[in-house]
Structure 1
Amino acid sequence: MAFRFQLPLFLLCMLVGAAHGQFLSPNFYGSSCPNLESIVRSEMTKAVAMDRRMGASILRLFFHDCFVNGCDASVLLDDAPPFVGEKTADPNRNSLRGYEVIDAIKASVEAACPATVSCADILALAAREGISQLGGPAWTVQLGRRDATAAANPSVANANLPFATDNLDKLISLFAGKGFSAQEMTALSGAHTVGLAQCDKFRRRIFGDADIDPGFADDLRKQNCPSFAPLDRQSPMQFDNLYYQNLVLKKGLLHSDQELFNGGSQDSVVMTYSMNNNAFRNDFAAAMEKMGRIRPLTGLSGEIRFKCNKVN
Structure 2
Amino acid sequence: MSGEPEHRCGVVALLGRPNAGKSSLLNALLGQKISIATARAQTTRGNLLGVLTRPGAQLLFHDTPGWHPSQRRFNLALSERALRAAEDADVRLLLFEAGADWDEPERRLAELAPPVLVVRTKCDRNVSTAVPGPERFAGVLETSALEGQGIEALVGALLPHLPAGPALYPEDFLTDAPMRFLAAERIREVAFEQLREEVPYALAVEVTEWKESDAELRIRARLLVERDSQMGIVVGQGGQRLGRLGREARRRLAELVGKTVHLNLRVKTDRGWTRRPRRVRQLGYL
If asked which structure has higher relative contact order (CA below 8 Å, sep 6+), I would say 1
Instruction: Give the alignment's TM-score, normalised by structure 2.
Output: 0.32
Larger fraction in strand:
2
Instruction: Give the alignment's TM-score, normalised by structure 1.
Output: 0.30
Larger fraction in helix:
1
